[in-house]
Each structure stands twice: as C-alpha cells, then as structure tokens.
Structure 1
C-alpha cells in the first residue's frame, strides 16, 4: 500500500472517530440519543457540508474508490456486525410472565398490522423510483414494510434509563415487545437480502450450488435458510447453556473466540445467502443466554468477555459505523423531501395506531397506551442498520436510504421528548427503587443511543 493511501486511511479514521465522539457527547449532554450526534459528525464530513465547502478536500480524504474506500467499508461492515452482536446480547432477561398477555397482544398487533400495511401499500403504489441497482421489487417491499414496523431496543432503553424509568413495568413491556419484533423482523430482512444476493453472487453460495434461480424458489429457500440458521445456533446455545449449568462452569470462550464466532457466523450467512448481520445478531442472542447461565462459575468470565467486546466496539467500530452512515448521506442531491415527509407520517401513524390498539386490547389505560405507542415508534439503530443494508445491497435507492435514516433519527428524538414530557406532567412514573442518577450500568444501556 502506498504511503499516501495509508495517510488518507489514518486521517479519515481519525476525523470520523473524533467527529462521532464529539458530536455524540454533545447530544448525550442534552439527553438526546448519541447515535444522532454520531451520524451528524459524519454528515459534516460528507458531501452535504464539507463537500459543499471544500469539495476537493472532501474527495481527497474520502474517495469513493480505491484502498481508502475499501478500508473504510471494512471498518463500516465490522461496526455493523459488532453492533448487531451487542443488540443480540442486550435481549436477555427482559421478559416477565405477568406481562405475557400484554406483550403478546402489543407485539402481534403492533408488528403484524404495520408490516402488513407496508406490504399492501408498497404493492399497490408505484415504487419504481425507489428501486436500487438490484431492481428487486419484492426485496424493496419487505424492507419498506420492516422499516414501518421496526422498533429500536438500544435507543429506547437508553432514553428510559436517562429519564429514570428503566425499571418500571412500562419499560419492561416496551423492551419485551421490541425483542420479539426485532427477532422476527431480522428474519424478514435476512430473507430480503438473500433474495437479492441470490441473483448477484455469480455462482457463490449454497443457493447457486443447488441451482435455485426462480424468484419464488429463492424466497422459499432464503426463508428456510434464515429460520434454520436461527434454530441451529439456538440449539447449540441451549446445549451449551445446559452443559455449563450441569458442570457448574468451566472454560469459557475468551474474547477472541467470541469475536471469531461473530465473524464465522457472518461468513456462514454469506455462504447460505443470508444477511451477515443476522449471523452476528443470532450469536449475540446465544452469547447473552450462555453468559447468564445460572449457577455457573463461568458466568462472570463470560460477562467480562462480552464487556470487553462492548468496550472496544462502542469506543471505535460502532461510532465509526454511524459516522460513515452520515458520510454517505447527501442531503443536497439524494434527498426527496416529499417522500420523506410522507413516509415519516405514514410510518409513525400506522405504528402508533397499531401499538395503541394492541395496548387497549390488553386493557392498558388510554394514557399508558399512548405512551407505549410513541415509545415504540423510536427506530434508532435498527432502523439505520436497515437503511444501510438496503443501500449496500442495492435494494433501495439513495433517496430511500436517506429517508429511512432521517426517519430513525426523528422518531428517536420524538420518543425522548414525549416520554420526558409525560414524566413532568405526572402521567408516567419514575423508578421506585433508585433515583435516575444512581441507576446501575446495565447491559441494556451499554450501546447507549444506538
């Protein structure tokens, strides 16, 4: 590698990391999701701001092709994998049997109705202008439907932690529903990515070796592959958990082995034609379960390994990932205000009405149902990951990417403002056990604002 390219790579990483941390800290100081600040940091360095003020400098530091672009794309992809791994880890210990009926009704109504609405609306309307280079209408339909139905666990958990309501029954219901939604919707997203990948892999992967070519056969294959991968890894995790519990502990996979598992699962997903982020997400789920295996001496060691991964991931890879998301945003040439406003309004209304209906069917008070509807509209990190996946795989156009990212940002900010307002008005209670300033640093807060 030429010294000039190495200099550009190091300079680009330094600028992205500093911009992400500085703007993220600024947003955190004002009790806003840091992920919004990290994206803003990248936006300032991208074509929207720096590209308008100093276009030659912006193109020199952040070229679209060559070694620098390849290196930044690698760090970006690793950041997404580690983010999804941490999202999976955070999904442990949020369920309670006494909330079963409420969680079930809100999850079914609040996810199925928006997803079905997205499927119907996208099928009826002309979406030819929204298609990406892949030109696959089915995949785009699935992505847009998921973007309407999705909820961000990390963002809403951090908001509730900052507001001092993280231990309330309200928070437990929100997180439990979000866990179920994210698991199901990640399967759907993986299927959408697989459908597109199956037609562009040039002979690579199991689907190609099996001779699967038609659209219907591809959809069936990738659905089975996604569910089968989840079932296989879950079975391995269950057996490992039982073995740890029965033996009372034992050697625990060190940090290097856990990171290797994330990379290996992502590589396996690529071969199967499944979204690589899905593999990292599933490994995170299993890691969270095995780390929490009761009665084992290995539990603390496993928690330490996950804590170490979280530390370097959230210190470098994840902030750079979100900064690169901002870097890819071009609000001058790749932003359709009419589509964004329409999509934002429809997504928020459909999701809010569905969650509200589910909460009322579960006999929750009207005020509580409204708070649930707003809280579960926060799309945050998962919404941004969905947008980047749609862009990187060619499912959606750059304008779709921009609109999905901005929708995730706006809904996250709206959820924080609404819940704080509800607390100040006395319609939402804070934690009874500890004041906000003394809340412990739980796993759910670790990827703050993501």
Structure 2
C-alpha cells in the first residue's frame, strides 16, 4: 500500500469515526437510538449529500476500488463480526419461569406468522426489480421473510433502559421473546447467505468438496450445517466449562499475573471469533453466524460472569469505540437516497411489515392472556428492527441477494420502526399505560435502589451493547 493510499484510508476512517460518534452522541441526547445517528454520520459523506456537492472529493476520500477501499472493507467486516459476537454474548438469562407460557406463545405466533406472510409476499408480488445480482429467488424470499419477522434486541433494550422500564416484567417478556426470535432467524439468514455463497466460492470449502449444487439440495445442506454448527459449539462450550472450571469474576483479583491472564482471555475470545468465522466460511455459511454463535454460547446462562468480566469489557470497549461505529457509518455511506430510493415501495413495505408483525404479536399476547393495553405495547416494542434489521440488509446486499433499492428500504425500515417504538413507549409511560416498576417484586428502599434492585432484577439482553447497536 502506497503512502497516498494509506493517507486516504486514515482520512476516511477518521472522517467516518468522528461523524459516527458525534451523531451518535447527538441522538443519545435526543433519547433516540445512537445507531441511527451513526448511520446518518456516514450518510452525510455518501452519494446522498457529499457525493452531490463534491463528487470528485467524495470519490477520492471513499474510493470503491484499490488498497484504501480494501482496508476500509476489512474494518467493516471486523466491525460486523464484533457486533454479532457482542449481540450473542449479551443475550443473557432474561427468562423467568412465570413468563414461560407468555413468552412461548408470543414467540411462536409473533415469529411464525410474520415469517409466513413474508414468504407469501414474494409469491404474490413480483419483486424481481429488487433482486440482487445473485438472482436467487429462494434466498430473496428468506431474507424478506426475516426482515418482516425480526426484532432488535439491542435497540429495544436501550430504549427501555433510557425510559426506566428495563427491570420490569414487560421488558423481561419483550427481551425473552426477542432472544428466541433472533436465534431462529439468524439460522435462517445463515442458510440464505450460504445458498448464495456456495455458488460464488466453487473451488473452496466443504460444499464444493461434497458437490453441493443449487436448489433443494443446497437448502438442505446449509440448514443442516447451520444447525449442526450451533449444536457443536454448544457442546464444546459445555465440555470446556466443565474441564476448565470458572475463573475470577468481574475482574476480581486481577492484579499482576492475573491481569495478564485477563488479557490472554481477550486474545482467546477474539481467536475463537476468527476461528468460528473461518470455519463457517469453509462450511459455506456466513462468517457472521459463527461470531454470533460463539458469543451466544459464551454468554448464555452466565450473565454476570461473562458480560461483566474484564475480557468482555475490553472487547466491548474497543469494539463499540471504533469498529462498530465505523461499520454503521459505512452502512450510511452505502445508502444512496438519490438514485436507489423508491419512496412508494418503501412506504408500502414498512406499512406491510409493521401491520403484520404488530398484529401477530398482539394476537399472541392476547392469546397468552395479556390485557389489551399491554398487548398493544408489546406489539409496538417488538416492531423495532434496529441493528439486526440493518445487519440483515447489509449482509444480503453484500451477498448480492438484494439490490441497492431494497437495501435502502430495509435500512430505512429498521430506522423508522426503532424510532416508532421509542416514541410510543415514552408516550405510554407518560400516560400511565406502562408502569416503570415491576409489580412482581417487593418495593426497594430509595437509598438502596442502586444496589439491591440491580441484584434482584434481571438486566436486559443487549444492555451493554445498546450504545452501538
């Protein structure tokens, strides 16, 4: 890489990082998801604004080919890997036995019905105009179905934290359902991406060695591999914990050699993420799925030890400080609201996705015995697609499943539904329709609120990663 290319890379990274953090902080002050600000920070320097005002300068600062573009693409890929790892590790033990029936019914109805409507949409409406260069209708169908059914854990948990309802039974139900949905939908997304990637990397990987082609054989292979990889990582995690035992919690006693051991654990965690990502590439499934599964099996059922440990804090710190904001800024950089924005199509898709998702969650909540007002709040909260919706859009766009127009639509859907959820819940609280306290817990003395309440109430999944995603 020449000095000129290195200078362009440093300049583009500095510009995106500063824009993402400044806009993210602004949106935090406005009590809105900071991820939206980070995307807007990149949008300002993309073809929608900077490219219109100074196209030559924009092309020089953010080239589409060459060493500088490759360097930025590497940071982008590492950002999404770390984002998926943190999303997995932050899916803590939010389930409670008294909520199991409600969570189960809402999860099934609120996920299966929207997914089915998403599948039906592709069959009824001709979406060939928004199909990507991969020209795979089956993968496109799965992506759209996931886009309709998905719920954002980090964004909705951050919204509830800001509104002061993160410790309530309402938050516990929302996050428990979202965890179940995201696990299933991440498997489906991995299958869709694997079907497309198997055609691009025909000289590499297990799919090529086994002679896996297209059609139903490809769907079956990637479904089995995705589920099998999940199961294998879960078994390896359980065996490793039993053999190695527990270490110091929350950084306790990490002095001298113990602190060096903590640094080594950071290296081990990141090595596992990279190894899982590489293994997924060989198997023919998206590497982001590997990072998500590693985080999930590392954090599941070990909320305080894993999410609050020194290694997890270290990874979270540099990921949310650099890699993940740059990733979301690059998402905004890719958005072209001038040439790749179909307002009517976007409006109709958002309306369709919101109505189907909200109606199914409302129906599931009422079936589970929740009162009408609570069911409406659940329906709106679980409409927020946030970070997962944006990740789905970028992965699908990069894989060639969708084109720039649908990419723009899916990103805007994630942004708008997140804003709608935050505004609705804040209004519901101000009107007294959503309590700030959990009636199932005894009152906490005002002076002890900072300590006792944190021990007795489950911390929501994604709370630590809410700033970034």
TM normalised by structure 2 equals: 0.91
Question: Distance in 2 between the 1:302 and 1:409 partners?
Answer: 29
Question: Distance in 1 between the 2:426 and 2:410 partners?
Answer: 25
* CA displacement at 1:338 relative to structure 2: 1.4
Secondary structure of the residue aligned to 1:320 is helix
Q: Which of 271, 294, 310 is the aligned partner of 1:283?
A: 294
* CA displacement at 1:444 relative to structure 2: 3.0
2:19 counterpart residue number: 19
Conserved 8 A contact 1:237-1:290: no
* CA displacement at 1:73 relative to structure 2: 0.7
Conserved 8 A contact 1:241-1:290: no
TM normalised by structure 1 equals: 0.95
* CA displacement at 1:123 relative to structure 2: 1.8
Question: Distance in 2 between the 1:446 and 1:302 partners?
Answer: 9
2:29 counterpart residue number: 29
* Alpha-carbon spacing, 1:32–1:257, altered in 2? closer, same or farther (3 Å): same
1:303 counterpart residue number: 309
Question: Distance in 1 between the 2:332 and 2:307 partners?
Answer: 36
* CA displacement at 1:431 relative to structure 2: 3.0
Q: Which of 436, 440, 444 is the aligned partner of 1:430?
A: 436
Question: Distance in 2 between the 1:311 and 1:259 partners?
Answer: 13
* Alpha-carbon spacing, 1:46–1:306, altered in 2? closer, same or farther (3 Å): same
- Unmatched 5+ stretches in structure 2: 250-257, 439-443
Question: Distance in 2 between the 1:426 and 1:338 partners?
Answer: 36
* Alpha-carbon spacing, 1:113–1:434, altered in 2? closer, same or farther (3 Å): farther
Counterpart mapping for 1:232-251 below 5 A: 232-245=232-245
2:348 aligned with 1:368: no
Conserved 8 A contact 1:16-1:42: yes
Conserved 8 A contact 2:94-2:461: no
* CA displacement at 1:245 relative to structure 2: 4.9
List per-residue Cα deviations over 1:148-190 (Å, max 9, x = no partner): 0000000000000000000000000000000000000000000
* CA displacement at 1:202 relative to structure 2: 2.7
List per-residue Cα deviations over 1:408-441 (Å, max 9, x = no partner): 0000000000000000000100135598x96869
1:446 counterpart residue number: 464
Conserved 8 A contact 2:24-2:38: yes
* CA displacement at 1:92 relative to structure 2: 1.4
Conserved 8 A contact 1:291-1:303: no
* CA displacement at 1:239 relative to structure 2: 1.7
Q: Which of 362, 376, 387 is the aligned partner of 1:381?
A: 387
2:332 aligned with 1:326: yes
Conserved 8 A contact 1:240-1:290: no
Conserved 8 A contact 2:16-2:42: yes
Question: Distance in 2 between the 1:314 and 1:300 partners?
Answer: 17
Conserved 8 A contact 2:154-2:461: no
List per-residue Cα deviations over 1:23-53 (Å, max 9, x = no partner): 0000000100000000000000111010011
How many residue pairs get aligned? The number is: 444
1:124 counterpart residue number: 124
- Single out whichever of 71-80 and 236-245 deviates more from structure 2: 236-245
1:146 counterpart residue number: 146
* Alpha-carbon spacing, 1:15–1:144, altered in 2? closer, same or farther (3 Å): same
Question: Distance in 1 between the 2:460 and 2:207 partners?
Answer: 41
Moved over 6 A (4+): 246-253, 439-443
* Alpha-carbon spacing, 1:91–1:333, altered in 2? closer, same or farther (3 Å): same
Question: Distance in 2 between the 1:431 and 1:254 partners?
Answer: 37
2:47 counterpart residue number: 47
Counterpart mapping for 1:25-424 below 5 A: 25-245=25-245, 254-289=265-300, 291-292=302-303, 299=305, 303-424=309-430
Question: Distance in 2 between the 1:391 and 1:247 partners?
Answer: 41
1:296 counterpart residue number: none
Question: Distance in 2 between the 1:369 and 1:301 partners?
Answer: 31
* CA displacement at 1:326 relative to structure 2: 0.1
